[in-house]
């Protein structure tokens, strides 16, 4: 009964603080403070200081600001323009034409950014004017871009996976490896949607692109070399065991700075603006993680996670039923919170549940990312919707409607992960054996 009252108090304080527009990190600390004062005799101030310092001084966490900085540097270079020039010759012959540049561009940029918002802004700045000028339907341009930008949460270096790994004390490198194949499969589903549109809506096709020789295609592809090299350095160094996630992040920052310098787009303003942008984003995420760590400690004193795990165990739910329930739970939660907040807010309760049910934590991390990806394009708080609104001047309702097929494809991706869990676990397991 104590756990029941504790749950009600936690939820009441949390929603009261969030309703008053208190920052999420401070709201979590406030809930934890109330819990410490009510359910333990330990001084709340001492506990908060110790927990915040312990959680924020993790060496693994240093990868987070560096990956964010790498994305910020690339966002301020001519990378987006070069990516379109390099991708367009190879996408034009596919059914659906240059719409595929939205998917391929987001996939490539996600592999050097880790941020959904940065991916959306960079690729959108590149593709929206080009696709509009070529006569592609507006709803396809916006819908595919909104969905594909969420790949920034899945394909390493994913900020959400870093936060998840730090929260549950799991290997960031293994989580990155686990995200590669599901990310590519999800990108393939998005491209299949474009191909289906091409054949089922022939009246909406724009004029075919002018022919281009193979030599010209290869010549234009040289613009992809810098970003592909950076992807190989960052991801390949982790896969082959040459570097940890933190070391790969540091190399990625150096590579991004060199790339910007070679493009002659690195100046003092670019450098300082990228550094300040990364600092703001990193500070926001760090504050949320600090609050989540303090809340986890407070909830541990109440015994709520253990009681909930025991309750789930007593219900004898199969892992499949539990996953279905958590899917609906995260979809609803994602309507009101961003992906990182959803992860840190729930892991203190969800982690004991999934371990009790025997669910692989690496696989679950990929499952969570796919589900919270939907939060980026789900009203009323879907962040990608607001970014696209600012870029296109469309109503939120219109943008959300264009993204519905992509949300359905993400739900299909959850089903694929449940049917074939090896899709997420095979690569990290084999990488561990080879090392």
If one compares 335 and 219, the residue with the highest pLDDT of the two is 219
Residues 226 and 241: their CA atoms lie apart, in Å, by 22
* Cα atoms found within 13 Å of the Cα of residue 62, Cβ hemisphere only: 10
Interval 200-221 mean pLDDT:
76
| Predicted local confidence at residue 286, as pLDDT | 76
Residue 29 in contact with residue 48, Cβ under 8 Å?
Answer: yes
Band of residue 327 on the pLDDT scale cut at 50, 70, 90:
confident
Evaluate if residue 309 carries a pLDDT over 70: no
Q: Model's pTM, two decimal places? A: 0.75
| Predicted local confidence at residue 247, as pLDDT | 82
Band of residue 350 on the pLDDT scale cut at 50, 70, 90:
confident
If one compares 130 and 179, the residue with the highest pLDDT of the two is 179
Residues 159 and 228: their CA atoms lie apart, in Å, by 20
Interval 51-79 mean pLDDT:
73
Residues 316 and 333: their CA atoms lie apart, in Å, by 25
Band of residue 382 on the pLDDT scale cut at 50, 70, 90:
low
Interval 293-305 mean pLDDT:
71
| Predicted local confidence at residue 338, as pLDDT | 65
Which of 74-83, 215-224, 244-253, 338-347 is predicted with the least confidence, judged by mean pLDDT? Answer: 74-83
Evaluate if residue 419 carries a pLDDT over 70: yes
Interval 139-158 mean pLDDT:
84
In this structure, what are the phi and psi dihedrals at residue 41, rounded to the nearest 5 degrees? -90, -5
Band of residue 395 on the pLDDT scale cut at 50, 70, 90:
confident
Token code pair at residue 15: 């929603």
Interval 22-40 mean pLDDT:
80
Interval 141-152 mean pLDDT:
85
| Predicted local confidence at residue 416, as pLDDT | 93
| Predicted local confidence at residue 189, as pLDDT | 93
Q: What are 157-198's pLDDT values in tens digits? A: 777 888 888 888 888 888 888 888 998 999 999 999 999 998
Rounded alpha-carbon distances, angstroms, from residue 277 to 71, 73, 110, 125, 386? 10, 9, 17, 18, 19
Interval 312-322 mean pLDDT:
74
Number of Cβ within 10 Å of residue 182's Cβ equals 23
Evaluate if residue 1 carries a pLDDT over 70: no
| Predicted local confidence at residue 81, as pLDDT | 66
Which of 42-46, 67-71, 80-84 is predicted with the least confidence, judged by mean pLDDT? Answer: 80-84
Interval 229-233 mean pLDDT:
80
Mean pLDDT score of the chain, rounded to an integer?
79
Evaluate if residue 361 carries a pLDDT over 80: yes
Residues 282 and 290: their CA atoms lie apart, in Å, by 12
Residue 21 burial by CB count (10 A; 0-12/13-18/19+): exposed, middle or buried?
A: exposed
């Amino acid at each position: 009964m104590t756990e029941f009252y504790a749950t009600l108090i936690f939820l009441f304080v949390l929603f009261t603080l969030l309703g008053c527009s208190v920052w999420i990190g401070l709201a979590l600390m406030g809930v934890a403070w109330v819990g410490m004062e009510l359910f333990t005799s330990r001084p709340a101030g001492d506990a908060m200081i110790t927990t915040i310092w312990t959680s924020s001084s993790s060496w693994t966490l240093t990868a987070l600001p560096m990956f964010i900085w790498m994305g910020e540097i690339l966002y301020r270079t001519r990378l987006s323009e070069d990516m379109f020039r390099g991708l367009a010759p190879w996408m034009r012959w596919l059914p659906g034409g240059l719409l595929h540049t939205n998917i391929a561009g987001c996939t490539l940029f996600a592999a050097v950014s880790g941020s959904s918002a940065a991916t959306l802004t960079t690729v959108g700045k590149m593709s929206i004017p080009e696709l509009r000028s070529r006569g592609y339907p507006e709803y396809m341009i916006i819908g595919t871009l909104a969905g594909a930008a969420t790949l920034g949460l899945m394909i390493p270096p994913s900020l959400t996976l870093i936060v998840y790994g730090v929260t549950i004390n799991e290997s960031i490198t293994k989580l990155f490896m686990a995200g590669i194949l599901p990310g590519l499969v999800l990108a393939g589903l998005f491209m299949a949607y474009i191909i289906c549109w091409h054949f089922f809506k022939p009246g909406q096709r724009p004029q075919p692109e002018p022919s281009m020789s193979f030599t010209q295609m290869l010549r234009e592809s040289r613009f992809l070399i810098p970003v592909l090299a950076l992807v190989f350095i960052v991801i390949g160094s982790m896969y082959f065991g040459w570097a940890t996630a933190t070391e790969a992040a540091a190399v990625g920052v150096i590579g991004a700075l060199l790339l910007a310098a070679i493009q002659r787009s690195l100046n003092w303003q670019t450098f300082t603006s990228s550094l300040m942008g990364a600092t703001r984003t990193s500070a926001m995420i760090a504050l949320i993680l600090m609050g989540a760590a303090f809340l986890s400690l407070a909830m541990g004193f109440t015994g709520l996670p253990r009681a909930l795990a025991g309750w789930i165990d007593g219900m004898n739910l199969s892992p499949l039923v539990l996953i279905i329930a958590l899917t609906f739970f995260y979809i609803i939660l994602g309507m009101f919170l961003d992906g990182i907040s959803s992860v840190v807010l729930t892991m203190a309760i969800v982690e004991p549940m999934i371990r009790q049910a025997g669910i692989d934590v690496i696989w679950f991390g990929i499952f969570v990312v796919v589900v919270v990806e939907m939060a980026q394009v789900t009203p009323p708080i879907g962040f990608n919707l607001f970014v696209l609104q600012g870029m296109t001047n469309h109503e939120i309702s219109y943008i959300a409607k264009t993204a519905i097929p992509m949300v359905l494809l993400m739900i299909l991706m959850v089903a694929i992960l449940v049917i074939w869990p090896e899709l997420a676990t095979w690569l990290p397991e084999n990488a561990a054996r080879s090392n």
